Amino acid sequence: MNPGKPCWLRDCLLTMLVVGCLAQFQLLAAETKPVAKPDADSEPADKVATEATTEAPLTPATDFPAIKAVAVTNSPVISSNTLVGVTTEETNNSDADYQPPTRLDQYNYILASARFDASTHSYATAEKGYVKLLADDVPEDMRQTAMFELGLTVQAQGDLPRAQSIFTQMIQHWPTIVKTPEIYLHQGQIFRQMGLQTLALSKFYAVMTTALSLHNDQLPYYKGLVLQAQVEIAETYYLVGKFKDAADYYARLLAQDNPALDRAQIQFRYIRCLEAVNLHDEAVKQALNFMQHYPNSTELPEVRYHLAQGLKGQGRMPEALQQVLLFLKEEHSKTKENPEVWSYWQQRVGNEIGNELYRQGDYMKALQVYLALTQLDASPDWQLPVRYQIGITYEKLLQPQLAMAAYQNILTNSAGDLGTNASPNLKSVVEMAGWRLNYLEWESRKTVFNAEATNGLSRGTNLNLSQQ
């Protein structure tokens, strides 16, 4: 390099260094420069949006706790720019369309909440909702609904006098409302629960009287109420033991072709009433019809019992016995579903028919029933009395050896099974079996002794005669 000439390379490097220093200085100045405070009239958009969100009136939150819990949550404000596919104009339009719930909406919400609480058996909470509606200025039809459902809620809690008072107040305030027949229906049910059967019947009859005044457009409602009132009247007569009146109403119900009826249960009650008033012909007819149409009913064992009783009442003992034996040998596939029910009615019908045959002197058929009864239950409480009946029946049939075997069976099985917890009746059966066994053994020895004595006298008489 020639030192006498200017160095263009040195000048270039110096220029670049100066430019770099200036740039670094400007950058440092920009970072340390204080931020200007915005004017009061020009606040940031995000801050305006936040304040608008938090200060907006939350009308639902004042009465709806569930909505209030969501509204007070401090969720971050999401800018409209971050909503994919939603423009600022569309968001503004949706906010403008929002309408806060009206007072009627709030009342409907309270009513729906009370109904939900009642359906889930939260009766105390439901009652508070209904009372809140009644204390406010709600529409008249909603007030009637709230008061009626409050009565149902109180009735469900078992507070019968207060429920009756609520329904009575409804009748006094609104004597011509559509729900009047239904109110009478509930009043009748409450009176019956309270044991006031006469007042209950008067309310049930009032249901049918007031239902006649309903308009034609309410005909299905009228039919349902009248049908329910007839069922309640029949049930009330049945519960107070007026079986003839109950049978009349059950017969009217069965004559109706209404799918809403529980025909199996009504026919079952009808059969009971018929047997109670000794109308055996109709009872047998209805029992056979029931067995044909409802072979899997849980009431079938008792219906078989009433059938056997009806046949016995008609004097058809062979057919009654046949039904009893079929009943006692019923398939296990049927008895396993309700073994206690089946066992009870099998034992009852067998015991009653067997004892009736024994009283009539038909010992062979009575014995047939008693032997079948031993297959029902292996417990000593059942076996020992039945075995005793078998023993005395063998005595009537002049079979002392078989009777002694039956009594000995009782004594043998009672030796280790009874213990100290045996009932007095069971102990009496064992004592009587022992007494009967001793008596028969004594009779047997007496018979043998008398026979031998008679034979001896006969031989002695012949000897004397031969000597003469």
CATH number at residue 283: 1.25.40.10
Question: Cα separations (Å) of 120 from 111, 117, 127, 146, 282?
Answer: 14, 5, 13, 17, 45
Q: pLDDT value at position 179?
A: 86
- Give the pLDDT score at 149: 92
* Closest by CA position to 391, among listed 402, 408, 403: 403
Instruction: Name which of 313, 315, 386 is nearest 354 in CA terms.
Output: 386
Q: How many domains does the chain have?
A: 2
Same domain, residue pair 296 and 343: yes
Range of the domain at 439: 378-416+423-450
pTM exceeds cut of 0.75: no
User: For residue 382, what pLDDT is reported?
Assistant: 82
Higher pLDDT: 442 or 350? It is: 442
Residue 284 reports pLDDT greater than 90: yes
| CA-only gyration radius of the chain, Å | 47
Q: Confidence class of residue 442 from pLDDT cuts 50, 70 and 90?
A: confident
Residue 408 sits in the same domain as residue 441: yes
**Same domain for 327 and 403:** no
pLDDT of 157 over the 70 cut: yes
Structure-token pair, residue 291: 């067995």
What are the φ and ψ backbone dihedral angles of 225, each rounded to 5 degrees?
-65, -45
Which pLDDT does position 189 carry in this prediction? 93
Please state which of the ranges 76-85, 290-299, 365-374, 386-395 shows the lowest mean pLDDT.
Answer: 76-85
Residues 348 and 403 in one domain: no
Looking at the structure, tell me whether residues 323 and 301 fall in a common domain: yes
In the 8-state DSSP scheme, what is residue 79?
Answer: P
Instruction: At 373, list the tokens.
Output: 């009864």
Residue 376 belongs to what H/E stretch?
none
Residue 398 lies in a domain: yes
CA–CA separation, 211 and 172 (whole Å): 18
Question: Sign of dihedral through CA atoms 30, 32, 34, 35?
Answer: positive
Q: What is the pLDDT of residue 5?
A: 46
Residue with tokens 């229906």, as numbered in its chain = 185
Q: Is the pLDDT of residue 460 over 80?
A: no
